[in-house]
Amino acid sequence: MTGQSGTITDNNTSGGNGIGTSRANAGTAAGNLPSSGGDAGNIGKSAKPRKQGGNHVLRKLKTRQISMIALGGCIGTGLFMTSGGTIAEAGPGGGLVAYAAMGVMIYFLMTSLGELATNMPVSGSFAVYSSKYVDPALGFAMGWDYWLNWAIAGATDISTAALLMQYWFPKSPGWVWSLTMLVIIFCLNAFVVSAFGETEFWLALIKVVTIIIFIVVGLLMICGIMFQPAVGFKNFTYKGGPFIGGLPAIMGVFLIAGYSFQGTEVVGVTAGESENPTQAVPKAINNVFWRIILFYLLSIFVIAAIIPYTDPNLLGASDSNIAMSPFTIVFEKAGLAGAASIMNAVVLTSILSAVNTGAYASSRMLYGMAKDGYAPKFLGTTTKRGVPLAALITTLCIEALAFSSSIFGPKFYMWLVTATGLTGFISWIGIALSHFRFRRAFKLQGHKLSELKYRAKLFPFGPLLAIVLCLLVICGQDLPGFASGNWGELLATYFSVILVAILYFGFKFTRHTHIVKLADMDVSSARPEVLKKQAEASTK
């Protein structure tokens, strides 16, 4: 761990052998690694997984699994439970505008990630890209912050799962259900990555089918086929609609919409274990735009058309009050018996999917950091089946500790949840910045864009838009706290930002890292650990 990143950066900035010779590696600029933790090599489009583990994850995720992971990745409890709140706060038009603007940003962000992930498919994903294309200190900071966020988010989700189970079993102790879910998640992730992929495929399919049914039923109600008289579009202009509260209200909803899309970046992590990343990742990325249109905008449209924005139930939905979900309300208006119980089951599967994805993403992030010398070496080992078991167990132990803090100290637990709220936006900035610098270096060093196996659209507009909007969301996260001078509240809100700054500058000053120069940047598919070995070999 010691000195590794500093060596990488020093060679990058000085144009050292094996690292600053990107032009000589033009043929491998869009190549794949045989595994996301190992050697660089000339591998075909579909690299065969290694038959032995020990230090490498294996490429066993199928294209259909990755596509469904991407398709269901941003469908969490936010859409099912709190989407009605955006309409109540900004009106039907304001809600649609906010989700549409965020959706456009997410699409460009995912195309940026797609270009990076097909060029260098690794489990460490954007933390590795930040190290290689920006500064090793940034990769170190982003990796640890992202891992901590998923660990705490997992604790929140298993607590929520307990509340949902108590809907059916009100007298049962909640910790039993939380512990049961934790054991299930361990079993799904501990043996082989294909078990995770297949589970996510079916869990995502449940969410997708539910939303499609909801949209179809809603449109039939609007047209008067399932509901008489026809609902029509009168609620869009009801009491001053469709825009309520002006631009400030839309900005407030914009923040909420951003949280709804967090998790879409996980598709970049799956590239490290995809059987065919050059095919699977672009296919999944290209589905993002249509997913946003179908799942979010049409769902918000249906809710806004059927439920007036003044309905107090739109603000009453919570994990412990499933009956107030806008999905439940619409299904009940359509005459669907047992709508609350059905939606409770759907939200439960959504939470299981979120915890499962979180365990996968965080364990791979921790594994990737260990491979690059940013975490203890034992976390960079795998089982014979290619599972980073040490990283997985460490992550789930932290989740259990965070969950136990809710039992012994509810205030501290809520502070943890609030403190990690901005991590997703920080990760998105890292992705956009890495892609912006990678593409500039790629062209500066004489490469042709045709060498890339996937090319992000509308560069540099896409990554710049993502950076600006994410900064806007972060800066506007707690305007009331700034106005009132509530420093305790501001500390909790911006803890993720402060943590990243401490990790970044602490690592930078202790390891003496530097921002990688564009002319010396290695744009091949080799990860930093391989570059370090090449540099060491060249000096012998």
Q: In the prediction, which pLDDT does 67 show?
A: 80
Residue written as tokens 């990343």? Answer: 277
Q: In the prediction, which pLDDT does 501 show?
A: 94
Alpha carbon distance 228, 238 (integer Å): 19
Q: What does each C-alpha distance from 190 to 185, 387, 393, 526 come to in angstroms?
A: 8, 7, 9, 27
Alpha carbon distance 130, 149 (integer Å): 18
Residue written as tokens 């491979």? Answer: 371
SS3 285: helix
Alpha carbon distance 118, 109 (integer Å): 14
Among residues 94, 87, 97, 95, the alpha carbon closest in space to that of 309 is found at 87
Who contacts 414 (Cβ-Cβ below 8 Å, separation ≥6)? Answer: none
Helix axes 339-371, 174-190, angle to 10 degrees: 50
For the chain, helix (H) and strand (E) counts, in that order, are 22, 0
Contact 162, 178 (CB under 8 A): yes
Q: In the prediction, which pLDDT does 37 show?
A: 47
Q: What does each C-alpha distance from 337 to 324, 334, 513 come to in angstroms?
A: 15, 9, 62
Alpha carbon distance 53, 278 (integer Å): 23
Mean pLDDT estimate for the chain: 79
Give burial (CB, 10 Å; 0-12/13-18/19+) of 408: exposed
Joined tokens for residue 79: 């859409």
Contact 245, 91 (CB under 8 A): yes
Q: Which residues of the chain have pLDDT under 70?
A: 1-55, 73-74, 76, 288, 316-323, 406-419, 526-540
Contact 31, 525 (CB under 8 A): yes
Joined tokens for residue 247: 């631009």
Q: State the DSSP code for 43.
A: B
- Please, what is the end-to-end C-alpha distance for the chain in angstroms? 21
- CA angle, 293 as apex, 452 and 271 as ends, to 5°? 35
Contact 7, 532 (CB under 8 A): yes
Q: What does each C-alpha distance from 356 to 156, 185, 274, 500 come to in angstroms?
A: 13, 6, 17, 25
